[in-house]
Amino acid sequence: MSTPTTFRRTKIIATLGPATESEEMLAKLIRGGVDVIRLNMAHAKHEWTRTIIRRIRQVSQQIGREVAVMMDIKGPEIRTGDLTVPIELQPGEIFDFTVKPDPERGAEIRSVDVNYQNLVNDIKVGDTVLVDNGLIRLEVLSKDQAHIRCRVLTPGHLSSRRHINLPGVKVNLPAFTEKDRADTLVGLEEGIDFVALSFVREADDVLQLREFLKKQGSRARIIAKIEDQSAIDNLDDIIRATDALMIARGDLGIEVPLEELPVIQRRAVRTCLAIGRPVIVATHMLESMISQPVPTRAEITDVANAVFEQADCVMLSGETTVGKYPLECVQVLDTISRRIEHELSADFPEPTVFVSERMKVLRSAIVMANEIKGAAIIAFTRIGITAAGLAAHRPPSAPIIAFTDSLETLRHLRLVRSVEPYLMDFSTDPEATITGAVELLRANKRIVPGDKLVIVSDMVASDQRVDSIQLRTVQ
């Protein structure tokens, strides 16, 4: 049976970009263990998106390892306008953000346009405006219908189309924009597996996207990205409404005090574990490796902490879009994850106790597998609920080998910790299905005679579904 060196529980997400979009690099990433490919729609054109999704599918088939595709849509975003030349903002300088043209206004105070007119209604005097990932900090002094007048607190170099963050300000922009709608439709036509919704502020944002997907007849899963203070205030409701959660530490780290970020990360992961939702830790995991061949010691510890917390996935962004060492980044995540998982298997936290009867049944399978050294858990699932339920209990040593007759489900399970999905036709005879699964694992050298298998399935008896847990020895 698998050892800690051959089986990695934590899944890896890699963002595609110029450094990795070729067939050759895609193949290396997939062979290297990437489970989900992320497409960042903030910068992607539709033609490129279609081409890349088809390329991912083609390369996956050639390799014989299907990966999932996540479309990360841009969401509501406030940006500065275009500047003819960059502006060097000085400490204490008075500076205007302009939301409406004002031809009568003089040029004694420097300014930049903003792409959101209602900003003047959302913001108030005393609020903080952060520009360009928080590098430039300003305080609001006054406002009228056309301008927001600020004082520069932290100086910096302001260029065109810089992102604006407004900590603690409730912005009345739609969660699912027209651009998002157009991008998502392209993704759905090409069969994406996940839609990541940016800047989710409340559960209703997720429900709006779910309704849109339902109208399109799509079974794509929703990943809610938490990136601002509103999301933290509504965290529990968001987690219950979504299919998975992404802790997007880039914008989140700008919106909240820095010392709060690790506290929020831990709380979010724990809440996801308690509810049974997959959770992704993202952004700046190996940022130094964009230009350097090895990570910093702090980055190694950061990745290790995410694995210690038992997150389902760790994610790479700039490291694999424009970085010099994309494959090495994947290898670093893989190596750290395996080592920390080995440590966890020796001293693992007790599984979360779930209240539903079904989850208690699944927990009994986990307990059995825990007590039998070298056992594997075999699950049969059509839409992934059984496998995900088992994974939510975080088995410390046994892999969860999930068999499904749906390629869509197999891809969805790429996001779920500890699950190895296999595609297989199911027989009307449950015993024939189990025999077929065992033979497939034997052919793939995943099991050998003498291995113990905890088999989780359900069957119909007297028009009722009955959960079944069996212990078998491989002959």
Q: pLDDT tens for residues 256-309?
A: 999 999 999 999 999 999 889 999 999 999 999 999 999 999 999 999 999 999
pLDDT tier at 4, thresholds 50, 70, 90: very low
What value does the mean pLDDT take over residues 34-38? 98
- Domain count of the fold of the chain: 3
The pLDDT value recorded for residue 101 is: 75
- Cα–Cα distances (Å) from 430 to 178, 313, 436, 456, in that order, read 47, 32, 10, 11
**Residue 129 belongs to a domain with what CATH number?**
2.40.33.10
Does residue 198 lie within any of the structural domains?
yes
Which of 344, 374, 399 delimits the end of a domain? Answer: 344
The pLDDT value recorded for residue 104 is: 60
Which of 96-105, 191-200, 269-278 has the highest mean predicted lDDT (pLDDT)?
A: 191-200
The pLDDT value recorded for residue 5 is: 43
Which of 165, 184, 216 delimits the end of a domain? Answer: 165
Which of 234, 227, 319, 325 has its CA nearest to residue 271?
234
Tokens standing for 160?
Answer: 């065109």
The pLDDT value recorded for residue 354 is: 72
In a shared domain, residues 195 and 328: yes
**Residue 462 belongs to a domain with what CATH number?**
3.40.1380.20
The pLDDT value recorded for residue 464 is: 73
Q: Are 233 and 227 in contact (CB under 8 A)?
A: no
What value does the mean pLDDT take over residues 319-348? 93
Beta strands in 124-193 (DSSP E): 128-131, 136-143, 147-154, 156-158, 164-165
Which of 390, 378, 387, 389 has its CA nearest to residue 437?
378
- Residue from 57, 79, 270, 339 carrying the catalytic annotation: 79
Lowest mean pLDDT among 154-168, 287-301, 404-418: 154-168
Q: Looking up tokens 């700039």, which residue turns up?
A: 318
In a shared domain, residues 96 and 69: no
Asked about 266 being catalytic, the answer comes back as no
Integer Cα distance of 53 and 358 in angstroms: 36
What value does the mean pLDDT take over residues 159-184? 93
Q: Are 437 and 402 in contact (CB under 8 A)?
A: no
129-154 tens-digit pLDDT = 999 989 999 999 999 999 999 999 99
Integer Cα distance of 365 and 156 in angstroms: 57
In a shared domain, residues 202 and 140: no
The pLDDT value recorded for residue 349 is: 62
Q: Could you tell me if residue 462 is left (phi over 0), alpha (psi between -120 and 50 degrees) or otherwise beta?
A: left
The pLDDT value recorded for residue 360 is: 87
- Cα–Cα distances (Å) from 70 to 13, 173, 321, 392, in that order, read 9, 24, 14, 21
In a shared domain, residues 184 and 136: no
Asked about 137 being catalytic, the answer comes back as no
Q: Are 289 and 328 in contact (CB under 8 A)?
A: yes
The number of beta carbons lying within 10 Å of the beta carbon of residue 207 is 14
The pLDDT value recorded for residue 460 is: 61
State the DSSP code for 287: G
Q: Are 73 and 194 in contact (CB under 8 A)?
A: no
**Residue 295 belongs to a domain with what CATH number?**
3.20.20.60
- Residue from 38, 210, 249, 363 carrying the catalytic annotation: 38
- Residue 281: which domain range? 11-75+175-344
In a shared domain, residues 187 and 306: yes
Residue 212 has pLDDT above 60, yes or no: yes
State the DSSP code for 167: T
Q: Looking up tokens 């900003």, which residue turns up?
A: 119
Does residue 152 lie within any of the structural domains?
yes
Does residue 82 lie within any of the structural domains?
no
- Residue from 143, 162, 210, 225 carrying the catalytic annotation: 225
In a shared domain, residues 328 and 384: no
Residue 226 has pLDDT above 60, yes or no: yes
Report field, pTM of the whole predicted structure over 0.85: yes
In a shared domain, residues 222 and 335: yes
Integer Cα distance of 169 and 123 in angstroms: 7
Query: Within its chain, how far is the Cα of 472 from the centroid?
Result: 36
Asked about 79 being catalytic, the answer comes back as yes
Does residue 211 lie within any of the structural domains?
yes
Does residue 317 lie within any of the structural domains?
yes
In a shared domain, residues 139 and 237: no
Asked about 283 being catalytic, the answer comes back as yes
Q: Looking up tokens 């739609």, which residue turns up?
A: 174
In a shared domain, residues 114 and 240: no
Greater confidence (5 vs 386) lies with 386
Arithmetic mean of pLDDT over the chain: 93
